[in-house]
Structure 1
Amino acid sequence: MIHNIQIKGFRGIETGSMSKFKQFNIFVGANNAGKSAVMEVLYLASTASQKVALIREEDDGVKSNTVLLSKVDLLGNNPFRLIGGKHGDLGDLDLSRIGERVLIVDVPDSKATLQQFDLDISKSKLAAENITLFALENSQENEELAKLIWQEVNTLSNVSRIVFCWYPDLTYYFKGSASWVISGQPPAAEHTFFCDTSVVQSYIPISFYRRVLNEVPGWTYRIAEHFASIFELDPNAFTVQFVPVAGSPEKLQGRISPKDKPALSIDAFGDGARAAFKLLAPLIVMAELATPEAPGLLLWEEPESFQNPQTLGKLLAEVVKIIRDKPIQVFIATQNLELVAYITQMLESKDLDPQTTILFHLSLYDGKLKSSWFDKETLVTWLDSGIDPRAWKDFVPPLQFQLQEK
């Protein structure tokens, strides 16, 4: 499980850190408060899994280290393509050039402590245009490179992984380099899932489907059960199927097949049903495959999108059921007070363990990320008093809520 993170120069964050992460973490705060950026650095740090050699020339000779490059996540997404595509034009990166066996990287930040290096990708089968960051395990063998990248040597003692990124669109004011460090055990890349609003437009890769059929018993039945609980359906009245997408046979589309009616594509339903279905399908797989040695990570952005308040509560309850007692860490970024209230009620009812659940209020001013945390008692006190933990200072919302007993 990831415990802490420190960030330098990623997107809108010039500097910042967060600590005290638990199994179930909720981020709230104003727009542009750094919530998405923190989710993204966690995702990028967690999905670096392909070992390659990094070679650099120093005054005292050539040095080599084993580093980790981004490969794919749970659904087979390329992590850089998923995150970088949200924030820039990926058409012409022009950040490196190919040698005979290596990728020669020129860091586009003249003040970066690491300026040029080679990555031996000859055996990795990775596309050069997708390589814009690497991760480094904090080991004795990597001590010199870790210090070169991070500089603040006294803060490295509890760090487990260092990440260095040279894609300008993901750096603070496009300066050309960013770095961040995490402490704790990172999840397995193949058990990491970033779920945002774009999931509604997504499909299941056929490679993922084939893997699931071999490794996850009753997958489609379990999707149907959880989907039925959310939308108050009879789980015995329909089945879940997957069929190829027209024109894209390498992708599969979910279908709801009632006993007494023709089957319908999940995309024929409303966005709320589509979003729930496309979260449940991979999350059930993660819960089945994650182990203490290869834990899972769910990064869930704006769960409230497309959801009626009643459906939102049921969706959250099903997610908690799926991950309960599983080696899965969850990070949720939300703008929704009802979701915060549902979390608080679940803490009071012990559906969520107060010892493993925490809410953070994030703020970002002039590039400085700050956060404060709420435990169960603080949340109950604030919501009982009608105070909104999403906002500080003098903001008075047009509607005020007070936490009620179920």
Structure 2
Amino acid sequence: MSETLIGVLGIAALFVGLLIRLPVGMALLAIGMGGIWVMDGSRAAIATMSSETYSSVTSYGLSVIPLFVLMGNVAGAAGYSQRLYEAAHAWVGRFRGGLASSTVMGCAAFAAVSGSSVATAVTIGKVALPEMKRFNYSDGLATGSVAAGGTLGILIPPSTGFVLYAILTEESIGKLFIAGIVPGLLLSALFVLVIIGITLFKPDEGPAGPITSMAEKLGASVSALPLISVILVSIGGIYLGVFTPVEAAGVGAFMVTVLALVTGKLKFGHFPDILIETVTMTAMLYLIIIGAHVFGPFLALTHIPETLANGLESLGLGKYGTLLLILIAYIILGMFFDGLAMLVVTLPVVFPIITGLGFDPIWFGVIAVIVIEMGLITPPVGINVFVVKGVAADVPMSTIFRGVFPFWLAMAACLLLLVLFPQIALFLPEQMK
């Protein structure tokens, strides 16, 4: 049996495992180790697994994961997400579609501490969906804005998608975080434009909310300042070179914990549950990273990345034609697979092709995360859609998918803008100290 055939069978087995909902990390680990065992013997397989496991869990850079996860969990448990939504609501809620726009803004702000699309969608959805229902928003616009807004959780830093991409490609986590800021704000603005467009032609979809006084606006803004200050210190510290990403994560987690305790939003008795949730999420992400580091050497032994690169080059599609083909493949895969799983499986194959074509790896990291976002709201899987369905149990799945479609088009527009104008993502990282 040829090396390439073994590789193809291994990838096929991995996809089958993911389709039947095997844990991503375990599927990667089993296929990677089994493939190396078949091709290079048991000693090489065991050595690869042990060395990669040790190097992964002892990596200093990976300590950014539990710290940022802790920061997001504390912020969510303390109810800071509601304050962010209320601040946005106070300023724009009076306009048609204002509550949906407030939802997107709240998601964008909470994304800056959560790093998770699912956590962002659930946390903001629980606050926003009842409000939009109270003001007779259409189910499609209400649920669509929450599902789409939640995807900002893995684009606006800190992002677990960027951390995983950085680990797999050995790129700078700090630069990837900063590269996600402007695209994240751009995508948020495009989502708001979608809402404005929908309510312009169909005013009944998103009726105007109550008018708030300037005192109410300022009061809501002040109440959101504690979390905003944490965001500015942690992410701003990375940009200015004051903190490394790991230090920024530690400072952010410390600040949000102290604020929650001092303001009485949390008691010490709340922390065991928060810590268990943090450890669970961290263990899942670490297992994915370990599995990816074992699966990568297996792919290298099969020479599939080189074979695929040569095959794409022989098609004569050119630099941007090849990129378009890769993005279409990502979108199709995103219809069936979890985004992080897709990133882990495809990067060992795709990344050498991208860098070989001369594309900036930091820029492609942003592109890859946006494509993953598209998969989060694309049927039939659409994880964020299922998350929103859990919050809005009375809304049919078909209605939610119809509601997210205009936002999916906004993501495609953002993707096109990033391809045409790479500096949207690269300007800030290039200015870093």
If the length of structure 2 is used for normalisation, what is the TM-score? 0.31
Q: Which has the higher contact order (CA 8 A, sep 6+)?
A: 2
Q: Which has the higher helix share?
A: 2
